Amino acid sequence: MAQAAWGEADALRKATLALTEDLQMDSVLDTLLQSLLELVPYESAQILFVESDSRLFVARDAHCPKAAKETVRYPLTLDATDHP
């Protein structure tokens, strides 16, 4: 349990350092997704920004190298009422 907590703390420390090195949005989002992958293995992940009460903007997505790659054109906006 202590080893898992140390691993999480180390991943968060690395993410914090990386996020403060470059404040360009693309770099910050890529770093955030990479740090997330170290904490929580995933096949795909997305960062969504709220545009309005029901609209979400897909700011960035990532696919694990093992997962099939799909071409997504940005910006992509979703209507949250279509996906309850």
The three-state (H, E, C) secondary structure of 37-56, written as one string? HHHCCCCEEEEEEECCCCEE
Q: Confidence class of residue 52 from pLDDT cuts 50, 70 and 90?
A: confident
14-50, pLDDT tens digit by residue? 878 777 777 788 888 888 888 888 788 888 899 888 9
pLDDT value at 78 more than 70: yes
- pLDDT at site 27: 83
Give CA–CA dist 74/55, Å, rounded: 15
Give CA–CA dist 61/33, Å, rounded: 8
- pLDDT at site 75: 64
Judge if pTM exceeds 0.85: no
